Amino acid sequence: MAGTLDGYPQHVREQVARTRELVARLHAELPRWGLVVWTAGNVSQRVVVDAAGPSGRDLLVIKPSGVTYDELTPESMVVCDLDGVLVDGGRAPSSDTAAHAYVYRNMPEVGGVVHTHSTYATAWAARAEPVPCVLTMMADEFGGDIPIGPFALIGDDSIGRGIVETLRGSRSPAVLMRNHGPFTIGPDAKAAVKAAVMVEEVARTVHVSRQLGEPLRIEQDHVDSLYARYQNVYGQGEGAPAQEKEHA
Ligand SMILES: O=C(CO)[C@@H](O)[C@H](O)COP(=O)(O)O
């Protein structure tokens, strides 16, 4: 199985090379954070082509299917079009490529997608119960409950449709696909990896809390306020206090 980027201009091929490096590196984060066993999870990132390629459509970079994380290199990453068809790379793409591609086709704001089977998040998915927003970290990151998506078979558009139906219009960057596991999205692959780390962390904490009794929900106006602060002020971004001082 081999494809080619020959019809794409130099700047797109350079962008693909950088994305291959990034996506290979981010795959190593999945075992590092304890989110996967064996080969059971994948990361992709969109490559914006802006009509520069033969099809005029964006591409995505994802791992090859069934290859262990310590074997993954930038060169082994595969490039697909947004129908999930292989464009460049010598191996079969991840079995979740169609799901990732569907998300990119239907959510133009999404630049990264991650899937894992991390234990606690997947345990909630197996029970088809949304993780209730009972932690400030959840309000910050997810802006509310972490929703459940429908049951869907692997390999075609079904998972992608379920992700898009559930996350379109939601503040959550994570969906727990019923009986399967978490899929996360972000403006880029790093943000989607972060959401995958966070969803496992809060799924674990809320599960532990449940062993002690019923956790208390955070009131909606507090959820809104926490979400607004974290998304706009937290860290070193635009709204961070140090930067406000600089502009004063
Ligand atoms: O959910 C599944 C299969 O149940 C997949 O996510 C695999 O666990 C990883 O597949 P590849 O990315 O290696 O094809």
- CATH number of domain containing 99: 3.40.225.10
Q: How far is the CA of 32 from the centre of ligand 1 (A)?
A: 18
Position 248 scores a pLDDT of 39
Choose the most confident range, by mean pLDDT, from 51-65, 173-187, 229-243.
Answer: 173-187
Q: How far is the CA of 65 from the centre of ligand 1 (A)?
A: 7
Q: Is 83 a residue whose pLDDT tops 70?
A: yes
The complex's ipTM? 0.96
Q: Which atom of ligand 1 is nearest to the CA of 116?
A: 6
Position 2 scores a pLDDT of 53
Three-state helix/strand/coil letters over 103-115: HHHHCCCCCEEEE
Residue 47 lies in a domain: yes
Residue 69 lies in a domain: yes
Residue 122 lies in a domain: yes
User: Would the CB of 37 count as within 6 Å of ligand 1?
Assistant: no
User: Would the CB of 115 count as within 6 Å of ligand 1?
Assistant: yes
Residue 116 lies in a domain: yes
pLDDT tens digits for range 36-48: 999 999 999 999 9
Residue 149 lies in a domain: yes
pLDDT tens digits for range 208-238: 999 999 999 999 999 999 999 999 999 987 7
* Tally of structural domains, the chain: 1
Note the pTM of the prediction, 2 decimals: 0.94
Which of the four pLDDT bands, split at 50, 70 and 90, describes residue 245? very low
Position 55 scores a pLDDT of 76
Q: In whole angstroms, what is the distance from residue 51 CA to residue 202 CA?
A: 40
Residue 96 lies in a domain: yes
Residue 3 lies in a domain: no
Position 104 scores a pLDDT of 98
pLDDT tens digits for range 90-134: 899 999 999 999 999 999 999 999 999 999 999 999 999 999 999
The mean pLDDT value for 23-33 works out to 98
Position 242 scores a pLDDT of 65
Residue 2 lies in a domain: no
User: Would the CB of 154 count as within 6 Å of ligand 1?
Assistant: yes
Structural domain including 90 reads: 10-232
